[in-house]
Amino acid sequence: KCNLLKMEDQATYRRNGNGHAKTADLSNYVFGKVQPQAIPLEGAVLGALMLERDALMMVADLLTPETFYLNPHQNIYRAIIRLFEAQSPIDLLTVTEQMRKDGTIETVDGGYYLVELSHQVASSANIEYHARILAQKHIQRQLIVAATETIRDAYEDATDAFALLEKTEVNLFKIGHRKAKSAQHVRDITTSVIMEAERAMQYAGECIGIPSGIRALDKETGGWRSPDLVIIAGRPAMGKTALALTIAKGSAKAGTGVAFFSLEMSKAQLVQRLVCMEGKVNGQMARNGKLTQDDFRRMCEAQPVVDEMPIYIEDTPAMSVIELRAAARRLKMKHNIGAVIVDYLQLMRGGEDQRGNREREIAQISGGLKALAKELEVPVIALAQLSRAVEVRGGSKRPQMSDLRESGAIENDADIILFPYRPEYYQITEDEEGNSLAGVAELIIGKNRHGRSGISVMCGFDEFYALFRDLDEKPSSQFPATAPQSGASVALPEGASMRGRNEEDIPF
């Protein structure tokens, strides 16, 4: 019968030729204590994962191979992850075959140990609770390692204390930010945004699918529909994030829940932009404390409007495809989201087996996003960077399909590809007929599986407020950017409140 003590590389005791206990393996001990572990729970989690494929979606953002204490368990989890990324069934037979391909089958006694694990559980009902315990044990082990290094180095006479302090802070920071971050409703963030804006003032100076918020675009695309993968690709400063927020705001106002995964900007930064867009306030003025009292009044009036938008933001950096899919599925189950926005694609991570080959990694990411759209039956809108070929090209510098950066797979996987283009950014102030292009933007439809391609949707872009709008909308008037006097009081409109928070609660 196979048991954990027979696994030589993870044995708690070393054995002599007769199989009797000989000496303790000190690698499992720190200061005479066994490192934090929960081996029975590790087996229960792995057994549940082989029992129900969908169970992985519940724990993917909590577990990594290193979360498991035993090396054989790490190998089993790696095999499960690879099967999931390949969209293959996950069961006893497929995991055994995958481990055979990986060359790790002997760490589980040729597969016999997998049989034992599959018999340990009857369902995956408690898998998330068990996974959280394993994550806690892993964090405890990481803290032990970091603390042990600090103690060892602190006893060295040649150690620079300030350098050691910085190293310790970095190690603790890394451990703290490896845990899963949950999505938050925007109402949990808007109060701190409003309070920060006030504090800065005192101290400074026709649509079938989901609407995009731009009627001209909806008329051409019919709105976003499941299971489309929409790519918004452009160079920096073309307004990709502004367009994504315009789409999120338009969809939310139509009653569609939106999951916004920001791999670049923080939750507070995004919500500040939403509030400023809704209140027609310059975001830079809000950050620099140069708002007028009228500006701040409009921000406060915009807060209850933004509070009611069903937008859920998660800003975990460098998410992998599997982590994003797990988080999106939870939001779908809990809040019935109708659209997913990812900002932006190149900041995501692919699977472990694709590391080192960026083109293949991007291909895996774009394929994973398309699979997510199909799985959740929602449109997925992903932002993407274009290559520098746009900048070195002469003429109007209009983007084209060949400018998609790092992988042609994006072009293959996408149902719709939009290129936001602002001629004014390249000092092109008039079109061929002599019409002014000030405040005018184009949304070039490079690809459309459901309609015309190679056409442009003309719209307006208010650079002052970083928002897209229809051309027939009246541009927002730009208010003077003079700062109020320090200490000036501002009356809050009805519906906007500070909710009793202290100044120390502001995460800025």
Cα gap 8→6, rounded to integer Å:
6
> Which residues make beta-bridge pairs with 173?
none
Cα gap 317→23, rounded to integer Å:
45
Q: Is 264 a catalytic residue?
A: yes
Cα gap 343→330, rounded to integer Å:
19
User: By three-state DSSP, how is residue 261 classified?
Assistant: strand
Q: Which two tokens stand for residue 134?
A: 């394993």
Cα gap 342→248, rounded to integer Å:
11
The DSSP call for residue 501 is -
8 A C-beta contact, residue 288 and residue 272: no
User: By three-state DSSP, how is residue 414 classified?
Assistant: coil
Amino acid of residue 8: E
Place of tokens 């923080």: 266
For the CA atoms of 280, 284, 289, 295, what is the dihedral angle to 10 degrees? -10
Name the nearest CA neighbour of 57 among 229, 185, 180: 180
Q: Which two tokens stand for residue 58?
A: 């519940």
Crossing angle for the helix pair 293-307 and 187-203, nearest 10 degrees?
A: 170
Residue 113: CB partners within 8 Å, gap ≥ 6?
2, 72
Amino acid of residue 166: E
Cα gap 500→320, rounded to integer Å:
37
Residue among 97, 220, 264, 375 flagged as catalytic: 264
Separation in Å, CA 446 to CA 211, 240, 346, 404, 420: 20, 15, 19, 11, 10
Separation in Å, CA 118 to CA 50, 66, 113, 122, 306: 7, 21, 9, 9, 48
Residue 357: CB partners within 8 Å, gap ≥ 6?
none
User: What values do phi and psi take at 232, rounded to 5?
Assistant: -105, 105
* Helix ranges, 86-226 (H): 92-102, 112-118, 127-154, 161-176, 187-203, 215-221
Catalytic residues: 264
